[in-house]
Amino acid sequence: MALKDRVVLVTGAGRGIGATTAKMFAEAGAKVVCADINVDFVDEVVEELKTSDLKASAAQVDVAHKDQVATLVGQILKKYDRLDILINNAGITRDALAMKMSEEHWDSVVQVNLKGTWIPCQAVIRPMRKNRWGRIINTASIAARGNPGQANYSATKGAVISLTRTLALELATSGITVNCVAPGAIMTPMLEKVPEKTREVFINRIPVKRFGTPEDIASTHLFLCSEGAAYITGQVIPVDGGMSIGM
């Protein structure tokens, strides 16, 4: 299997894209640590993977808290003596028009989406440099181009892109690639909460005329962590059915 015995940390692995990514990496032979702030969700994911005789473990972590992330990474290194791949998938939305957005909702999105990407990145750099091999995949969004009602979310995703490019430059000679996936409208529990009429508007803006699936994103994660992507770093890969072309 392509990623046999690679050690992978997936944040936000309790559902949606994160859970699907964890499954896909486990099926590729990796040892996957499924992390989420909701431990009940990741416990369910891990139990399902273990039923299929795949290698996975669950961990509860708030990615915006440096001590929690450091403890988790330390536990992974103690158990496996390596950490090869980080999939920064955890993220939240707190939507409102800019003039109505509360400071609390601004701060919470920045805390999770930006700080919660930076902290895990920083935590894995030293062990990856030690082994002269690593893959870091961050999560942006096509909303980074701007999206009404998402000033906080869009700002964090634009910042994640800048963070990704900077880390790629800093780590390019260390055997570590750093890339970013920018999902479009993906059918996850988050999108399922959107009113049907609004979803119809989205579909009309997507050239392929369908919503993406978590598998569409997970397979991109898998490719970017493969040897076939060893010469790709600092890039933002839109996975949006062509939606961003007309934005």
Instruction: Give the domains, in start order, of the chain with CATH numbers.
Output: 7-237 (3.40.50.720)
Question: Which of 12, 153, 176, 188 is the catalytic position?
Answer: 153
Residue 99: partners with Cβ closer than 8 Å, 6 or more residues away: none
The pTM score is 0.95
> Could you tell me which of 79, 82, 88, 78 has the C-alpha nearest to residue 137?
88
153 is catalytic: yes
Paired tokens of 39: 């431990």
Residue 160: partners with Cβ closer than 8 Å, 6 or more residues away: 113, 114, 117, 138, 139, 140, 144, 180
32: β partners: 8, 56
| DSSP H or E segment with residue 164 | helix 151-171
* CB atoms closer than 10 angstroms to residue 92: 17
Determine how β-strand 56-60 pairs with β-strand 85-87.
unpaired
pLDDT of the chain, 247 residues: tens digit per residue = 679 999 999 999 999 999 999 999 999 999 999 999 999 999 999 999 999 999 999 999 999 999 999 999 999 999 999 999 999 999 999 999 999 999 999 999 999 999 999 999 999 999 999 999 999 999 999 999 999 999 999 999 999 999 999 999 999 999 999 999 999 999 987 778 778 888 888 899 999 999 999 999 999 999 999 999 999 999 999 999 999 987 6
